[in-house]
Amino acid sequence: MTTTDVLRALVVLLFLTGLPAGAQERSSAAGRDESGPPTAVSTAPVTLDGRVLFELRGTSAYPAAERTARVAKLVRGLAASADFDPANLSLVEDGSIARIMADDRVLISLVDADARLEGVTRHELALVALARIREAIEHYRTEREPEALVAASVRAIGATVVLALGLAFALWLRRRLDRWIAARVQERLRSLGAESVQAGSSERVGELARSALRGLRLVVVLVALFFYVEVVLSLFPWTRPFYVQVRGWVVGPLETMGRAVVNQIPDLIFLILLCLLLRWATRLIRLFFEAVGRGAVTLTGFEPDWAMPTYKLVRLAVIAFGVVVAYPYIPGSRTDAFKGLSILAGVALSIGSSTMIGNTLAGYMLIYRRAFRAGDRVRIGAVTGDVVSIRPQATDIRTPKNEQVVVPNSVILGSDVVNYSTLARSRGLILHTTVGIGYETPWRQVESMLLLAAGRTPGLLRKPAPFVLQTSLGDFAVSYELNVYCDQPQSMAGLYTELHRQILDAFNEYGVAIMTPAYVADPEEPKVVPRQKWFAAPAAAPPRGADGATPETLPAPASGPLDE
């Protein structure tokens, strides 16, 4: 504990004790105005030395504060006058008015309306008020006698000594705890090493512990000073009004909060039970859908891949139902402030989350439409790649170039989606490539060479068998389309590359020139690569071809320009 902590606590208490003297009366009256009887009658207390004697009502012409201030002034004057004997106080009733008299002076005039406010008769109210005034005058005089003031001073000095000893003990304890924390941190650092990541964590934990102790010390000092000021102010009659005010400012809000918490205990118990019930229900629902996802439970027409997305939707519905049920039991939910914040949060959510909600709905639509699943090779717009994950807001795609592309689900829903993997698992994916060959080459030879190239390409399916289509008869060439089957969509690029290599080798082997992509005139020599130049430098011939034969052992064509 430092001097700064003590000064900070004193500033807080001085601020509290420096508020205007009539604040509590006005706030009390205002509270009664708001929560009082339906007639909205204002009342104010009659006080002497901080003690409340009784309350009086007011009217529009004679407010309660003015009426009680006049009565308190008269009672204080009688108490301060040594010549006045409290036994001279008397009660005089005249028709509908009961007057409390001090000799021949009227202190209070009570009517039936005052009695109705307390729920008693006018005579009963007057007797109670008379007894309270006599008692207050006696207390006023007794507390100002020298013996009482000396006793109060001794008690104040004792309270000061106790406070000083408590602060000194807190200061000693603070130093001991600081040294203990520092020693523990240093011991931990020596055991871990200065370069360890855990060493920095130990230092942060030590600093956090010291900060927590500083906060706790400040709270203890504030509480101790509050009780000290309260005790000292309550000992002397001149400072007791300030004691009442300080106690009302500090203890009043705590009492209000405590009563509010106690009143909300049934609702809090209901909310706790509701949360436990919702938690149990969501766990049971999760177990069911996990069983569906594993295939242990089969639902007709329900795909196992739909299990977890459906579970999330059902869980959201259950939680929304729980919020609707719990809303009336939430503390403060019936207040205008809570309703205003709820409306503000709803407006902000509706404005800022339109895109988020649209992407989420689009994501669930894609899942239930079975457009694709994780691991599929797809093309979405200009993006081609493998689906990594389908998240509520977006879908992650990894391209063949190892690029991660995040596509919003709303964009996917509005785009054409090509899934290469869906039918590849059962029927095979058809890869196709087109070549243009001149009219002078027999179409049967071209188709045979294309099928030969397909047979030499590893990774393709033999069943269904490849086939060739003549897609067009162009101005200078016939377009042949070779169609082959594969069951590995992720290997499309490699399969196309190997297929094109085998087509080039087959056409070079049989001396047939490929006319695409353009044709100007017949060349003097066919545009083919002779067999002996297939592995010209820097290329190196492999020990065996892709089909198990070296280039020298490939079957020679029956006839062709290469043999002439």
AA identity, residue 297: V
Q: Which residue has the tokens 């089957």?
A: 485
| Burial of residue 195, with CB atoms counted within 10 A of its CB: 0-12 exposed, 13-18 middle, 19 or more buried | exposed
pLDDT at 20 > cutoff 90: no
Token readout for 149 is 């003031």
pLDDT at 33 > cutoff 80: no
Rounded Cα–Cα distance for residues 10 and 228 (Å): 11
pLDDT at 501 > cutoff 60: yes
Residue 44 pairs in a beta bridge with: 56
Task: Look at 466 and 75; give whichever has higher pLDDT.
Answer: 466
Backbone dihedral angles phi then psi of residue 63, each to the nearest 5 degrees: -60, 155
Residue 429 pairs in a beta bridge with: 486
Least confident among 109-118, 148-157, 343-352: 343-352
Q: What is the mean pLDDT of the chain?
A: 79
- Using pLDDT thresholds of 50, 70 and 90, give the confidence band for residue 353: low
Q: Which residues contact 417 (CB under 8 A, 6 or more apart)?
A: 371, 372, 378, 379, 380
- Using pLDDT thresholds of 50, 70 and 90, give the confidence band for residue 12: very low
| pTM for this entry | 0.48
Residue 69 pairs in a beta bridge with: none
Q: 429-563: which CATH topology?
A: Alpha-Beta Plaits (3.30.70)
- Least Cα distance to 32 among 4, 9, 65, 3 occurs for 65
Using DSSP, state whether 54 is helix, strand or coil: strand
- Using pLDDT thresholds of 50, 70 and 90, give the confidence band for residue 537: low
Q: What is the 3-state secondary structure (H, E, C) of 329-365?
A: HCCCCCCHHHHHHHHHHHHHHHHHCHHHHHHHHHHHH
User: What is the 3-state composition of the chain as percent helix, strand, coil, each rounded to the nearest 5?
Assistant: 55, 15, 30
Cβ atoms of 127 and 121 within 8 Å: the answer is no
Q: What is the 3-state secondary structure (H, E, C) of 215-251?
A: HHHHHHHHHHHHHHHHHHHHHCCCCHHHHHHHHHHHH
AA identity, residue 518: A
pLDDT at 372 > cutoff 90: no
Which pLDDT does position 260 carry in this prediction?
Answer: 80
Pick the CATH number of 361-419 from 2.30.30.60, 3.10.440.10, 1.10.10.10, 2.40.100.10: 2.30.30.60
Rounded Cα–Cα distance for residues 378 and 399 (Å): 10
DSSP, residue by residue, 11-41? HHHHHHHTS-TTHHHHHHHHHHHHHS-TT--
For the stretch 28-37, contacts whose Cβ atoms lie closer than 8 Å and that sit 24 or more positions apart, written own/partner, are 29/64, 29/65
Which pLDDT does position 286 carry in this prediction?
Answer: 92
Q: What is the DSSP letter of 465?
A: P
Token readout for 300 is 């007709």
pLDDT above 70 coverage of the chain, percent: 83
| 69 alpha carbon, distance to own chain's centre | 54
Give 249-281 pLDDT, tens digit per residue. Answer: 777 787 788 888 888 888 889 999 999 999 999
Task: Look at 62 and 1; give whichever has higher pLDDT.
Answer: 62
Rounded Cα–Cα distance for residues 407 and 390 (Å): 10
For the chain, what are the domain ranges? 40-142, 146-235, 267-352, 361-419, 429-563
